[in-house]
Structure 1
Amino acid sequence: MSASLEQLLSLQQATLVSLSRLLEQEKTAIVERKAADIAQLANEKLALIHKVQQQDHQIASHAQRQRLVDEATLAEQVTQIKAIVTRCKAINEVNGEALQRAQLSFHKLNNLFQQSRGKHQMTYTSEGMAQNIRSLGTNIKA
């Protein structure tokens, strides 16, 4: 027995509300720079998005899908669902931009470390040429 159109809409709405909450948690994890949480939440987000897509397919292929347009209560629920989707997209966009900024900051910091490390390992040859020596002072056998 297949689910009613009302059940499918309620299920999709609940899944989208869960996705919205998860995106808010992801935003917090990004701000707090909790890499493990970000990875876990990304996996959960993908699972929820997949679930929403499956539910959407079930609704689209439902025998009574015309009722979504004909009945005011169902049309209103569809409007609410679309509003949640729009909110999820906006939050996800903000999270993506925040992740890109965090990644750029990480690369800048990493470059500074690389430059700093290079300066500390630099020495000069007897001909006056600069060279990096990684074992400077570590191979003394006195």
Structure 2
Amino acid sequence: MPDTIEQLLELQHATLISLSRLLEQEKGAIVNRQSVEINRIAKDKLSLLNKIQQQDHLIASHAQRQLLTDNTECMQKVTEIKTIVARCKAANAVNGEALQRAQLSFHKLNNLFQQSRGKSQMTYNSEGVAQNIRTLGTNIKA
């Protein structure tokens, strides 16, 4: 476990870079509609977010936390970390919107399939009333 605040900041930076790369992978998986990969990435992303939260807590409660505002190198690292966090938030929002659009497209397509399936199963009874019959032609015994 890192001892100094600088080491914690470096670890936080590396973890955020990993998250940034994972978000790029997620974007590719969404574009290519790789559902298994999207699920795997979601689990990995959650794990990284938990790790980032733990690291953030360690930094906030560290005995040397005053260096975050007093030391120029630490201040630069914090600024860099905040920039990466902002990029990750933006990328995650874009990926979320893309997933929502993909889900909406899937539901529309599914509804079209269900409607077309319903039309092909429609028939008329002896009184001329339309009926959906799922067993049309399947109960014939020859």
Q: Structure 1 runs of 4+ off > 6 angstroms?
A: none
For the residue of structure 2 that corresponds to 1:64, the secondary structure is: coil
Q: Which residue is 1:33 aligned to?
A: 33
Whether 1:116 and 2:116 are equivalent positions in the alignment is yes
* Structure 1 residue 127: Cα displacement: 1.1
| Superposed counterparts of 1:1-142, under 5 Å | 3-142=3-142
Q: TM-score, normalised by structure 1?
A: 0.98
Q: TM-score, normalised by structure 2?
A: 0.98
Note the alpha carbon deviations across 1:11-66, whole angstroms, 9 max, x for none: 00000000000000000000000000000000000000000000000000001101
CA distance in 2, matches of 1:112, 1:60: 53
* Structure 1 residue 139: Cα displacement: 1.1
Residue identity (%):
71
The aligned amino acid for 1:8 is L
CA distance in 2, matches of 1:13, 1:131: 64
CA distance in 2, matches of 1:57, 1:35: 33
**Structure 1 stretches of 5 or more lacking a match?**
none
CA distance in 1, matches of 2:2, 2:130: 76
For the residue of structure 2 that corresponds to 1:131, the secondary structure is: strand
For the residue of structure 2 that corresponds to 1:123, the secondary structure is: strand
* Structure 1 residue 2: Cα displacement: 6.1
CA distance in 2, matches of 1:3, 1:120: 70
The aligned amino acid for 1:89 is K
CA distance in 2, matches of 1:125, 1:2: 78
